């Protein structure tokens, strides 16, 4: 016989469908939600449905936004000559946290991954190319895809596509992370750090 009433079963299985949440964590979360004041559950529930309802993709950069175009694309104070290409909206947030970048973004929503059947046609690549022809003021595209096999492949692919247009195409640097001892760096990273050395 089931140890839980159906409503809890349903909640647990819904929570367990989230990435990185297993059956046990889902159960723990469900019990936590049920142990809180009723307000808590209704606020959580409302935040989920409202976010899904109000948030869409910016038609320019494909970042998540509540307005179209998004705040970043509309911001006249930003540098509209540079576009930073990233894999996901979370990467935009990571870039913004550096406070070192004031240009625009382009979110691909993934990377080329033949193993998972994700080809260039599944990404917002074509949209980037039309955006570049529509905005001749763009003079640099920074490729900030992940330092993974897929991210590297996507960057290489994009660089080859953009090159004919004559727009400067750069890749973010790879090397030893700050605060890390050299002896703990893996050989691929150290190799990249060496190859990318810069004159002081």
Residue ranges in contact with a copy of itself by CB under 8 A = 1-8, 10-11, 14-15, 17-21, 25, 27-35, 38, 40-55, 64-67, 70-72, 75, 88-90, 92-93, 95-97, 109
The Cα–Cα gap between 161 and 16 comes to: 40
Residue 73: asked if its preceding bond is cis (omega within 30°), the reply is no
Q: How far is CA 154 from CA 135, 148, 171, 180, in A?
A: 22, 10, 11, 27
Residue closer to a copy of itself (CB basis): 4 or 184: 4
Q: Hey, CA dihedral for 171, 89, 96, 101, is it positive or negative?
A: positive
CB of 51 to a copy of itself, least distance (A): 4
CB within 8 Å of 165: residues ≥ 6 apart: 132, 133
Which pairing describes strands 104-107 and 140-143: parallel, antiparallel, or unpaired?
Answer: unpaired
Residue closer to a copy of itself (CB basis): 54 or 139: 54
CB of 102 to a copy of itself, least distance (A): 10
Residue closer to a copy of itself (CB basis): 70 or 138: 70
Residue closer to a copy of itself (CB basis): 10 or 126: 10
């Amino acid at each position: 016989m089931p140890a839980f009433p159906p409503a809890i079963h349903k909640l647990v299985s819904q929570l367990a469908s989230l990435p990185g949440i297993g059956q046990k964590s889902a159960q723990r979360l469900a019990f936590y939600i049920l142990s809180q004041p009723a307000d808590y559950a209704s606020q959580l529930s409302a935040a989920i449905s409202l976010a899904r309802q109000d948030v869409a993709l910016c038609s320019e950069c494909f970042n998540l936004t509540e307005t179209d175009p998004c705040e970043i694309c509309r911001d006249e104070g930003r540098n509209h000559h540079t576009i930073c290409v990233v894999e996901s909206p979370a990467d935009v947030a990571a870039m913004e946290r550096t406070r070192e970048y004031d240009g625009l973004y382009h979110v691909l929503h993934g990377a080329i991954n033949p193993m998972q059947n994700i080809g260039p046609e599944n990404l917002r690549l074509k949209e980037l190319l039309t955006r570049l022809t529509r905005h001749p003021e763009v003079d640099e595209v920074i490729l900030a895809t992940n330092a993974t096999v897929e991210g590297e492949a996507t960057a290489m692919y994009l660089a080859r596509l953009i090159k004919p247009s004559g727009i400067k195409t750069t890749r973010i640097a790879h090397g030893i992370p700050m605060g890390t001892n050299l002896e703990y760096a893996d050989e691929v990273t150290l190799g990249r750090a060496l190859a990318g050395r810069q004159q002081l």
